[in-house]
Structure 1
Amino acid sequence: MKGFKPIVIILFLISGVTCQKLQGQAAIVAMLFGDQVASEEFNLGFELGMNWSDYSNIEGVRGKHAIRIGMSGNIKLSESFYLSPAIYFLSQRSFHFKNLSLDTGNPLFDNEFQNTGGRGQLRYVDLPVMTWFALDKWRIGLGPQVSFLTSSNLTFEGPEGNFERDIEENTNAIDYGIMTGLSYELGKARKGKGIFLQLRYYQGFSDIFEDSLLAPENKQHFFAVHVSLPFITEELAQKNLEQ
C-alpha cells in the first residue's frame, strides 16, 4: 500500500477536462495533501515557469514571455534517478509576428489588416513526464510532453485599431514532443524545504496550425525558466538543514 497513495494523487491531478477544474484540483491537493504525503520516496511540488516560444516556417516571429503554472510529483527511483510527472494547468505560448494577413472573408476587415504585425497567444494544459539523473545538487532531465489546446488567438495591429481573431478551429488540438532540462537544488532555502531552479527546452514534433491558416508545418519549440517548490514535512526539512 506504500506506493498506492502517490499513484492516487497523480491520477487525481490529471483528472478533469477543463483548465478551471484542473487548477482547482491542483490547489486542493496542495493544501490538503502537500506535506502529509511527503517522504524521501515521494513528494508533490508547485511549479512556476516562464517561456519564450518560436515556430518553424513562419517568418518574422519573435517569442514573447509567457507563464506556466502547475503541480508536479517527485518519485525517487534510486539514489541517482527520479521520475517527475507533472501537470501545467495554465501554459501559455505567446509571440509577436511582423507580416501576417487577416483572412475572415469580409473585405471590410481583411483589407485593413494585410501584411501587418501583431501578437499571438496559445494556451495549453501540459502533461510532461521527466526522468531526472541527479549528481549532487545538479539534475539532468529528459522526457515526453503532451499538450492539449484550450484557446488560440491572433491580434492584428492596424492604423485604426486592433482586430482579435479566434483561431482555435485552425489550431490542432494536441501537441507532443520532448522536454529536456537542467536543474539545480537550493537545498537549504525555505528553511530546508528547498527550491529547484531549472532551465528547460521543449521541441515539438507535431504541426501546430492547420494548412487553412499557415503552411507548411509549424512546429513549436520554446526555452523556459522554472522554479519548483517542493512540499515536504518539517522533519524532512530539518534533515536537509543538517545535511
Structure 2
Amino acid sequence: MKKVFLIGFTLFTISSSSHAQAALFALLFGDKVATENFNVSLEAGGTFMGYSNLEDSERSKMGINFGIGGNIKLNENWFICPNIYFLAKRNLFLNHFSLDSGNPALDANFTDIPTKITLDYIDVPIFFSYQTNNKKYRFSLAPQFSFLQKSRGIFERSEGDFTQNFDGYTRDVDYGMMVDFAYVLGKAHKGKGLIIHLRYYHGFTDVLNDQISTADNRSNYLSLHLSLPFITDELAAKNLEQESE
C-alpha cells in the first residue's frame, strides 16, 4: 500500500515521462539493484530561496525538488552520494518590474508592477559524506551544478496576470557548494531507513542577466530534505537488530 501511494505521488508530482520513469525505477526496482555497498533512494525536499544584492525583492515562497540519489559506501564511515533532481523549482519576487514584449500597447498595461520569476532547474549535487559510528548522523559537503530548463516572468495585476518567457533574462547554469547535516532514522521504512536533511546552498554565479539586475545576484537557499533509501532485506534486518540493542 505504501508503495502504491508513492507511485501515485510520483506520477502526480512529475509531469515529464522520462523523469517519472527514473523515479518509478527507484520505487519498483531500487531494492532489487541494492548491494551492501550501493543503493538508490528517492529524494524530495523544499527550498527557501534568497538572492544576493537584489534589494527590490521579497523573500521567495518555498520551492521544491524531487529526484533520485545514489549511495556508494567506501567504508563504515565514508560515502559518495551522487544525486539528480529532475524537478528543482525556484522562484523570486520583484516588487517593481516592467514587461518588455515589443508591443507598446501591451507593455503599457504591465509597467512597474509586482513580478514573480519562476526557474526550473535540473540539480546535480555530488555529496561526500561522513557518517558517525553510531550511524545516527551524517555530515556532507557537495559541489552542485544546476542546469536551467525553463524560466518565466509572471506580471501580476488585479485584472489578470501576463506570463512571459524569461529564458534570455536568466543564466543557463548555476553552480555552488552545499553543506548538509542529516539525521538517520534507522528503523523507519521497515529497517531500510529514512534520512532527514537540513541543507544550505551557496551559489558562485550571477544567475540573473542585466535586464533584471546589473548587480551580482548569487542564489542561496535553505532546504529541508528527505531521503528514502532502498536497501537489501538482509541489511534492513541487520539495521533493526542494531536499533533494538
Q: TM-score range by the shorter chain?
A: 0.7 to 0.9
* Matches of 1:29 and 1:74, distance apart in 2: 16
Question: Residue 86 of structure 2 aligns with which residue?
Answer: 89
Q: Does 1:78 align with 2:75?
A: yes
Structure 1 residue 21, shift from structure 2 partner: 5.8
Q: Does 1:182 align with 2:181?
A: yes
Per-residue Cα deviation, 1:154-213 (whole angstroms, up to 9, x for no partner): 111124221111101221111111011110000001111110000111111111122233
Structure 1 residue 91, shift from structure 2 partner: 0.4
* Matches of 1:150 and 1:228, distance apart in 2: 24
Question: Residue 47 of structure 1 aligns with which residue?
Answer: 43
Question: Residue 222 of structure 2 aligns with which residue?
Answer: 223
Does the C-alpha gap of structure 1 residues 96 and 212 become closer, same or farther in structure 2, counting only changes over 3 Å? closer
2:68–2:85 CA contact under 8 A, matched in 1 = yes
Question: Residue 199 of structure 1 aligns with which residue?
Answer: 198
Structure 1 residue 28, shift from structure 2 partner: 4.9
Question: Residue 7 of structure 2 aligns with which residue?
Answer: none
* Matches of 1:204 and 1:69, distance apart in 2: 19
| SS at 1:58 equivalent | coil
Runs of 4+, deviation exceeding 6 Å: none
Q: Does 1:134 align with 2:111?
A: no
Question: Residue 6 of structure 1 aligns with which residue?
Answer: none
* Matches of 1:156 and 1:105, distance apart in 2: 15
Question: Residue 5 of structure 2 aligns with which residue?
Answer: none
Structure 1 residue 134, shift from structure 2 partner: 1.2
Question: Residue 19 of structure 2 aligns with which residue?
Answer: 23
* Matches of 1:117 and 1:28, distance apart in 2: 39
* Matches of 1:141 and 1:22, distance apart in 2: 29
2:98–2:113 CA contact under 8 A, matched in 1 = yes
Say what the alpha-carbon RMSD is for the aligned residues. Answer: 1.7
Q: Does 1:101 align with 2:98?
A: yes
Question: Residue 150 of structure 1 aligns with which residue?
Answer: 149
Q: Normalising by structure 2, what TM-score?
A: 0.86
Deviates more, 1:108-117 or 1:62-71: 108-117
How many equivalent pairs are there? 225
Structure 1 residue 102, shift from structure 2 partner: 2.0
Q: Percent identity?
A: 44
2:23–2:67 CA contact under 8 A, matched in 1 = no
1:51–1:224 CA contact under 8 A, matched in 2 = yes
1:62–1:97 CA contact under 8 A, matched in 2 = no
Structure 1 residue 142, shift from structure 2 partner: 0.4
2:138–2:182 CA contact under 8 A, matched in 1 = yes
